[in-house]
Amino acid sequence: MRRCLPAAVSTAAAALLLTGCTGADAPERADAPERADAPTPTGPSASRQPALAVPRAAEVLLPETSGTAGEQLPRFTPPEEAYTLYADCTGTSTVTIVDRSAGGGRHPVRCDGVTTVGVVHTPRETQHLAIQVTKGPAAWRLTVVSGVQGR
């Protein structure tokens, strides 16, 4: 069964379309070893859980990262004017992806174990994202890939 929960949020620099999807529509898992040239996260810990379901051929801009508290994510610069993020969380908390750039927005991630897929349209400039966790415990994970990926 497929479940989609659309919500649109736009800011001056980016528009983020969030959808949580389950079922056969999910892209193939990227279980291949991480690329040697992929950036290394500096803040949150790299995830040791099974990988988020991202397309195999996707160019990874931010390797899968996870945590249980709010964190500033490593900066990245998309080579295109769009990137796709995949995030999920479990727990009773409220988890929000925060765009820390001027005029940036706030984008909620549902803590129900369903992967949230967000497409962000933005100029090709350094992105400053953070995870905010409030109102209880949560375990979250997130990865960012280049361009508009299938949802």
pLDDT in tens, 102-131: 677 888 998 988 899 999 999 999 999 999
Distance CA 113, CA 115 (A): 6
Q: Where are the beta strands (DSSP E) in the chain?
A: 7-10, 15-20, 45-46, 60-67, 71-72, 82-91, 94-99, 106-109, 116-121, 129-134, 138-146
pLDDT at 12 > cutoff 60: no
Task: Inform me whether the pLDDT recorded for 43 exceeds 60.
Answer: no
Pairing of strands 15-20, 7-10: antiparallel
| Inter-residue contact 73 to 104 (CB < 8 Å) | no
C-beta separation of 113 from 3 below 8 A: no
Return the closest-CA partner of residue 148 out of 128, 130, 125, 122: 122
Query: Does the global pTM surpass 0.85?
Result: no
Question: What is the Cα–Cα distance from 104 to 97, expressed in whole angstroms?
Answer: 10
